[in-house]
Amino acid sequence: MSPTTSRRLLGALALGVAGALSLAACAGGPPPKPATTDGNGYELTTWTPKPTAEVDTISWNVFQGEPWTLNPFTSADYAPNMINSNMCETLLRQTPEFEIEPNLAESFENPDPLTWVYTLRDDVTFWDGSPMTAEDVAATMNHSLTDPTSFQHYLFSTVESITVTGPLEVTVKMKTPNYLFHDQLASYAGVVMQKKFIEAHPDDIGTPTGGLMCTGPFQFEEWKQGDSITLTRYDGYWNKELMPKTKQLKFTFLTDNTAITSALLSGEIDGTYAPPAASIGQLRKSDEGTLSFGPAPLVVSLFYPNPEGAMSDPAIRKALQAAIDWKGIAEQAFGGVGGPAALQTADASFGFAKEELDALAEEYATTGEPDIETAKKELEAATPEALAKTITMVVPEQAETQQLGVAVQDAAEKLGLDFDLTVVPAATYTNYLYDPATRGATDILYTTFWPNIPDPLDWMMITAVTGGSFNPYGYSGIDEGFAKAIATEDEDERAKITADLERKLREDLLPMTPGIRQDNTVWHNDRITGAPAAFDYTFYPWAAHLGGTGD
């Protein structure tokens, strides 16, 4: 994926079974699962090999560049989450196998549709040695519930109250049934920070001077602005199975593709997720380290933010979708990692609806090759008013995204459509995604999208429901069905509803398009190993698995 793509902002809610689960600790490096072939000349695996030795320090590059904050309440992108995930833990945990399991909450009960009761572990401490309490958990969750500036705030829209109901027990009362909320606690909706730290740092949580106070395997050490962020191992970490083999973890902020590749091959940087697409071939052949591929809930997508523009015409949307060379974009712009997507939602996020959505994806399967003849037939149904409008698209100034923009422009021009492509500095592109004033009347934007949790309803809540952060178009076509789905306790019935919603999104081609599904990539040199190859570095403490090879 592209180094400066902003992804989403939030998500929502989940599982509807009463009962209790015991913690199944994830060992410090599970044996790699059997690899599966993606079909693009490489194999997918969940894990890189286990480390065999401790190391004093590891340098890891943040491909998107320096984060603007490490505050979990306002973190919603690759850069902050990649770092935060190793420091600030959540009540539940999503694993590299795309499963959700207990974490700081060792068990839960759902005694009725409006009540969730969480029993907390009794052996968790913050970095200052103080124990994690129910008061800390309730205070953190209530911050997101009550503070509208929190990126997690809207996830709590159906929550009535969060209260301490025992020494190690927190109870969440819902306004209406919502069988998405529970699993969402494996994202930063369920993050836990120390109550007294939150109260003492109202304005500088997650800043270079304010820092953090959490429970994770690494603790905040230093932030040298413009240079690096350093974490150190927390030796009092509760989960001994995940005790890091790395004493110090230093994050660097290179964004230039050539500089990143050079630093990887020279050993200046030990590893990175999402190395430059243009360097995939070179890195695969290198003897200096290993490039691994893993499954990911990632889709390179176009989305339409302007309900008054040319793309509001369904015939133009269908024509452009058919005319774009998705196969060529995947191979040439994105290094052949992944391929054309059948649906808006990535298959790694099919979750409880996997059987139904697998069947739907097969129905809409595509080679991604352009079909200009079909596109021109679709265009015959477009209104003269829409055809008279210029289609505007904005992409960030990076090699792969510029190639994407040029490919879309080429498709539009082959259909005789008036098209204007604008390339903006990568550092400012996020403003187009989230700021209406910056975006203006832009018709097409680009994102590499990932959800909060591996759940198709989470994906839809962000991208396709009224009020979703990636639905500036204001699309409301699945609102009613979505509300029904999240209120449905029976998982099989919920899966059927979800498949119907996915079909409608595919037929409407709003607010996003099926673009290019992407696999995850991770590079590490021969000195280290252990990183999950699957995409799970945004909420899971992935760096706890890193260690030395003994070389």
Q: What is the reported pLDDT for 26?
A: 32
Q: How far apart are CA 188 and CA 10, in angstroms?
A: 9
Q: How far apart are CA 181 and CA 168, in angstroms?
A: 20
Contact predicate 214/194, CB 8 Å: yes
Of the candidates 447, 448, 452, the one whose C-alpha atom is nearest the C-alpha of residue 462 is: 452
> Do 501 and 530 belong together in one domain?
no
Instruction: Give residues with Cβ within 8 angstroms of 120, minimum separation 6.
Output: 104, 105, 106, 132, 133, 134, 137, 168, 169, 170
Q: Which CATH number is 371's domain given?
A: 3.10.105.10
Residues in the chain: 551
Residue with tokens 């997650």, as numbered in its chain: 206
C-alpha distances in angstroms, 21 versus 15, 124, 238? 13, 18, 18
> Do 508 and 533 belong together in one domain?
no
396: left (phi over 0), alpha (psi -120 to 50) or beta: beta
Mean pLDDT of 367-376: 97
Q: How far apart are CA 111 and CA 165, in angstroms?
A: 14
The structural domain count of the chain equals 2
Count of beta carbons in the 10 Å neighbourhood of residue 258: 11
Report the run of H or E that residue 449 belongs to, with start and end.
strand 445-449
3-state secondary structure of 468: coil
pLDDT one-digit tens code per residue, 302-347: 999 999 999 999 999 999 999 999 999 999 999 899 999 999 999 9
Q: What is the reported pLDDT for 506?
A: 97
Q: Which CATH number is 210's domain given?
A: 3.40.190.10
The tally of CA atoms less than 13 A away on the side-chain side of residue 36 is 7
> Do 358 and 388 belong together in one domain?
yes
Mean pLDDT of 278-283: 92
> Do 395 and 535 belong together in one domain?
no
Residue with tokens 């700081």, as numbered in its chain: 104
pLDDT one-digit tens code per residue, 2-13: 333 433 333 322
> Do 256 and 392 belong together in one domain?
no
pLDDT band for 40, please (50, 70, 90 cuts): low
Please report the sign of the dihedral spanned by the C-alpha atoms of residue 496, residue 499, residue 503, residue 505: positive
Of the candidates 507, 535, 522, the one whose C-alpha atom is nearest the C-alpha of residue 450 is: 535
> Do 403 and 549 belong together in one domain?
no
Of the candidates 224, 269, 219, 210, the one whose C-alpha atom is nearest the C-alpha of residue 247 is: 219
* Three-state SS sequence of 85-134: CCCCCECEEECCCCCEEECCEEEEEEEECCEEEEEECCCCECCCCCECCH
3-state secondary structure of 383: coil
> Do 269 and 410 belong together in one domain?
no
Please report the sign of the dihedral spanned by the C-alpha atoms of residue 489, residue 490, residue 491, residue 492: negative
Indicate whether 65 belongs to any domain: yes
**Facing residues of 422 across strands?**
394
> Do 135 and 276 belong together in one domain?
yes
**Facing residues of 391 across strands?**
419
pLDDT one-digit tens code per residue, 466-497: 988 889 999 999 999 999 999 999 999 999 99
Q: How far apart are CA 350 and CA 338, in angstroms?
A: 17
**Facing residues of 100 across strands?**
94
**Percentage of the residues of the chain whose pLDDT score is greater than 90:** 87
- Angle CA 64–218–124, to nearest 5: 130
pTM above 0.85, yes or no: yes
Q: Is a pLDDT exceeding 80 seen at residue 32?
A: no
pLDDT band for 430, please (50, 70, 90 cuts): confident
Q: Using CA atoms in the order 252, 258, 263, 269, what is the torsion angle rounded to 10 degrees? A: 40
Q: Is a pLDDT exceeding 80 seen at residue 30?
A: no
3-state secondary structure of 164: strand
CA 298 remoteness from chain centre: 7
Indicate whether 296 belongs to any domain: no
Mean pLDDT of 188-210: 97
Whether the ω angle into residue 511 lies within 30 degrees of 0, i.e. cis, is: yes
| DSSP symbol at 331 | I
Q: How far apart are CA 458 and CA 452, in angstroms?
A: 7
Indicate whether 474 belongs to any domain: yes
Q: How far apart are CA 534 and CA 35, in angstroms?
A: 11
Indicate whether 488 belongs to any domain: yes
Mean pLDDT of 281-296: 95
> Do 321 and 260 belong together in one domain?
no
Q: How far apart are CA 386 and CA 166, in angstroms?
A: 61
> Do 132 and 152 belong together in one domain?
yes
Of the candidates 3, 5, 1, 78, the one whose C-alpha atom is nearest the C-alpha of residue 446 is: 5
Structural domain boundaries enclosing 22: 1-33+50-290+526-551
Indicate whether 41 belongs to any domain: no
Contact predicate 368/325, CB 8 Å: yes
Q: How far apart are CA 192 and CA 144, in angstroms?
A: 11
Specify the higher pLDDT residue, 277 or 104. 104
Q: What is the mean pLDDT of the chain?
A: 91
C-alpha distances in angstroms, 240 versus 28, 57, 217, 232, 545? 9, 20, 9, 16, 12
| DSSP symbol at 411 | H
Residue with tokens 């309900």, as numbered in its chain: 307
Indicate whether 214 belongs to any domain: yes
526: left (phi over 0), alpha (psi -120 to 50) or beta: alpha
Q: What is the reported pLDDT for 398?
A: 86
> Do 272 and 152 belong together in one domain?
yes
Q: Is a pLDDT exceeding 90 seen at residue 192?
A: yes
Q: What does residue 224 show for φ and ψ, rounded to 5 degrees?
A: -95, 100
pLDDT band for 64, please (50, 70, 90 cuts): confident
Indicate whether 477 belongs to any domain: yes
Of the candidates 288, 343, 356, 270, the one whose C-alpha atom is nearest the C-alpha of residue 530 is: 270
Q: Is a pLDDT exceeding 90 seen at residue 69?
A: yes
Tokens representing 334? Answer: 């994105």
Q: What is the reported pLDDT for 52?
A: 96
Contact predicate 73/144, CB 8 Å: yes
Kindly report which listed range (1-5, 35-39, 171-175) carries the lowest average pLDDT score. 1-5
Q: What is the reported pLDDT for 4?
A: 38
3-state secondary structure of 333: helix
Mean pLDDT of 368-377: 97
Q: How far apart are CA 107 and CA 23, in angstroms?
A: 7
Kindly report which listed range (220-229, 304-313, 439-448, 466-475) carries the lowest average pLDDT score. 466-475
Q: Is a pLDDT exceeding 70 seen at residue 29?
A: no
Indicate whether 298 belongs to any domain: no
> Do 262 and 387 belong together in one domain?
no
